[in-house]
């Protein structure tokens, strides 16, 4: 399926990681600013790498273990305004940690998160969403190898996974600097947490909450403001929901 954003277009028919609300939230929430280098782990169709390119002047590496995803990400990158700044690589992050020969100012990832749960029947969905394809431990250890003093790591997880990862990160010396709790509807519990960690000390964690839909099918004003630089639509109601 093809998705048109304000400044680029993404095809995700063959990728394990599709365009969806999780990626939209994370890519819009992360503020790359003046960083010079970014790593997108598990890039899928490349949507996060493209969002980071739109919001920065950084050089971006995007890695994935799924060759069709890499091919599709390369296609999407080649058709974007930032093809000269994005490199897509077919390799696991632990291999990239050994071979990269550099460290990054910012690492961003929408990792597999069905930890200790019923596995999806589709192998593609399994690779995209189950921790078997990339454990949180491997993600953290590889990211640490690719971070320098002052680097940031941003990711999205369900709240239970977020608690696990936060403890693991703290034990390894990372500090939580920002957190956003997300619920789909006002009547629903939080189902995602966006987190940003830094290698330096943090005096105060910036915390916020967001509800995606004010009612079913109607995006909340806060969601629309967050994603306004990427979403093409102006209307609040959509027929296709990403849940």
Per residue in 129-178, pLDDT tens?
444 557 999 999 999 999 999 999 999 999 999 999 999 999 999 999 99
Give pTM, 2 decimals: 0.88
Using CA atoms, how far apart are residues 77 and 103, in angstroms rounded to an integer? 22
Domain positions in the chain: 2-227
pLDDT tens readout for residues 98-141 = 999 999 999 999 997 643 443 444 444 433 444 455 799 999 99
**Domain 2-227 -> CATH class:** alpha beta
219 CB-contact burial (10 Å; exposed 0-12 / middle 13-18 / buried 19+): buried
Residues in the chain: 243
């Amino acid at each position: 399926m093809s998705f048109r954003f304000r400044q680029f277009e993404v095809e995700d028919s063959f990728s394990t990681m599709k365009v969806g609300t999780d990626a939209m939230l994370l890519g819009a929430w992360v503020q790359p600013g003046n960083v010079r280098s970014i790593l997108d782990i598990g890039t899928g169709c490349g949507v996060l790498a493209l969002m980071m390119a739109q919001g920065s002047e950084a050089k971006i590496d995007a890695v994935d273990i799924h060759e069709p995803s890499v091919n599709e990400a390369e296609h999407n990158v080649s058709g974007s305004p930032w093809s000269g700044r994005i490199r897509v690589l077919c390799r696991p992050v632990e291999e990239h940690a050994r071979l990269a020969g550099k460290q990054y100012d910012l690492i961003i990832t929408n990792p597999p998160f069905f930890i200790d749960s019923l596995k999806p029947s589709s192998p593609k969905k399994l690779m995209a969403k189950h921790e078997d394809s990339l454990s949180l431990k491997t993600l953290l250890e590889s990211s640490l190898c690719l971070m320098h003093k002052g680097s940031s790591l941003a990711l999205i997880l369900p709240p239970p996974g977020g608690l696990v990862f936060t403890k693991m990160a703290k034990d390894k010396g990372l500090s939580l600097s920002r957190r956003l709790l997300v619920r789909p509807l006002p009547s629903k519990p939080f189902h995602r947490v966006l987190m940003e960690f830094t290698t330096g000390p943090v005096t105060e964690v910036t915390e916020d909450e967001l509800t995606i839909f004010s009612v079913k099918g109607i995006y909340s004003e806060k969601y629309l403001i967050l994603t306004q630089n990427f979403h093409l639509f102006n209307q609040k109601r959509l027929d296709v929901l990403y849940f």
